Structure 1
Amino acid sequence: MNWKKALVVAPMSAALLFSANGGLVSAEETTEPTVTNAAVDLRATLGTLLSEHGNLAIITMRKGIEGAEDFEAATAQLAENTQALSDAIASVYGEEAGQAFQDMWSAHIGYFVDYVKGTAAEDEEAKQAALDELSQYRQDFSAFLEKATEGRVEADALAEGLQTHVNQLISAFDSYVAGDYAEAFSKQADARSHLYMTAKGLSSAITAQFPEKFNNSMAVTPAADLRLTLNNILSGHVAFAVTAMQNGIEGEESAEVFKANAAQLAQNTDKLTGAIESVYGAEAAEKFKTMWSNHIGYFVDYVKATAAEDEEAKQAALEELKQYRADFSAFMETATNGEISAEAVSESLQMHVNQLVASFDAYAAGNYEEAYNQFHEGYVHSNDIAKALSGAIVAQFPDKFATDMPSEMPKTGFEPAANNDMMMLWIIGASALVLAAFVAIRKYRTSEEK
């Protein structure tokens, strides 16, 4: 396995393998809210791995039905994700359990592939057989995790959550095949978010099962919710930006797919904009939306220039991204009162730009293995960005994140206990982020007018 891929599992593995005396974090002796401890890092790692699985599974199914040249590369990336998840499980429950997980997880991916093959052959019996296999997998896997977590995750509740996962992936694929691309990308977004909820439930169960390995810290707190909410939205941005760039270079044959993909990317932006408006009104929201949308537009400009083989236009797009990076980095430092430095933000944003551009360049050149490798790196890097930004926000506004949530999660298929509406997470957590952004934007606009 690529050593870079192994870094995804490292936070979870290390947190579980070290004791409280020699672990990643010291025992929590303060009530100060934090976005990073062994428990929250576990939740973030699971959120990244599981949502990437959903994302890659949907992409692989699409590539399969199209007979696309990058199908094998997408499949290989999905297999690496499975290995990373299996390694994570092994770090908690041992090698035997890790292997059992890998066998079942790989099998359920195979059933999705069987469904794709049945669809291609217009074989309704084969499609139903694949769904039946997924139903059996759902029961077996649920029983496996109930036993592993010593009942902290109930099999019936987990089976319900897994059925939702299956339904979302099948629906996303069926919609794509039927040419309803808007529905296909909408279901993809739903599938990603659902798996973050799965990570929330699993991490809570594991930390309750092994409290000494996590210094009795909790995976579910308002500060952790802010980090994971940002992780979700930022990784979603990467997921839809990369595939939109791929669609863009494919030309007319993917024009309708590109349109739906770009629309989903815009909805990803709207989630943040809606949170800004709920706190500061339409004018502030529009200012922020313009800035965020512009940087997406520069990536689109790069795609167009690549298609036209216009090196000057490509360089111009990169220069626009460079200027955006400098401006955004400076206002984040100002907005957070120095809790996060412009230099740190700039470095992180440059990495983000490099990963998306490198993934696209490799895809355009037909180097699909490298394209998906860079896609993966960009997806994982979203966790780092979310960690840094949420940490700065929580440090600046600790009172907004001071109250801990219950340490036990209900056994209802990994839905949040008293917070089923994702927008509530934005109201609780993102208000601090948007305050910082809006204050900074106003400061920058004022300074530019002088």
Structure 2
Amino acid sequence: MAYFELLPNEILENIFQYMNFKNRRKLSPVCTRWNNVLFSDQYLRKNVVFHIDGCRMLDAKMILTRTYPALSLKVDNQFSNEMLKNLRLINSFSPKPTFLRLENRNADHHLGWILDGVFFSLEDVTQLHLLGTCKTERGVCFVLLNNLKVLKIEAVHVEFFRVGAPNLTELQVLVRSEDHMDLLHQFADQLTKLTAVFDSKDGYYFYNLKFPQLTDLTVERSLKGMIKSEQDISIAFFRRLKQLTKLRLSFKFIDSYVMQEIYESVPNLVELQLEVCEGTIELSNISKLIHLKKLTIAAEKVNLLNTKPPNLKHLTLGSAITGAGTFVYAFENIMLLDNLRSLTLHNVKFYPEVLKLTPTYNVVTMSITHYKRLLENHLQIIVKRFPALQHLKIADCPGFTQREIDKIKRMNPRMFISFDEVRFQL
């Protein structure tokens, strides 16, 4: 204990960061200093959310020596007196939360009470997450949140929810109806980051919207692809987003012509992620993205022919959820990427032609994951093609043991290898 007393708080925080909340709570009675470091304001703000789960009663006699900036509330189908008592206690341990997660499963007027700030102040809320339903007995619920910056909606009946948020810059929405589109339209002019996940095949009028400030866009529409009837309107949509720097698209399939037009429409992309459930992703025209540094591709087939983005540093191929693996054509183009430093392969199929590839000395970090059967000679082939590797990570590859690691280590003694030894399941 004497030695720990000599350590500064910063060192103690680095030691305690490997502990979960339960273990931290066990150690907090050791001394006042440990209690303050274990549950510092910085730790509580980043890692702890105080949950009130339905009608499970809080202990009113519990002495709370600290306040919690993150709060999660779940309103059950039956709003009981127990729940009301819980709400009245919130002001003692979370008087001014900055993060609020509200899950409402009951269409009653109590949701309005919570959002009106009856039980605690909402003036400092910067992140709001709504789940369940926004429907109330009293009709439309309006709330003014001047400091709100991030809004996440995974709820139905959003037509009953109106929010004033002049400083909102990020919106994440699960699109289930045109009412969700109206919410997007309300904040379109001020958003810099948008995540739109479509819960149906209908895209509504999403491609008609304009986002003049948007720099980060994620669109997930796994139930529907970019069909021909939407080609013109979708291309026009991306042509209005020349300021985009980050783009993530997840579709059932994406037409190669549409992708070519997207590459030309958003020339300032720094990060691009493409995921399709069917078909092939063609990357022949991606070289036009001269600012691109991070590229992630997940599909059954990927064609890398003529893929030479000049400043690409991080490349990820394949997906952990693709059962049959990812077939990559023109794998040799990876060896021609002069600025590539990091390569991640998720269940990517290797071909005998890899043996003939000219080694590249650019890649220093590689991750190989989610292979149902990773053969030792396959991995040795890859390692030989990247002799400058400094760090190799192997994860979720059953059957790969320390013996194989030792063999690879002898090929490059200076390379650091991390892996999890997963046994075959019978």
Query: What TM-score do the two structures reach when normalised by structure 2?
Result: 0.26
Query: What TM-score do the two structures reach when normalised by structure 1?
Result: 0.25
Larger radius of gyration: 2
Bigger fraction of residues in helix: 1
Higher relative contact order (CA 8 A, sep 6+): 1
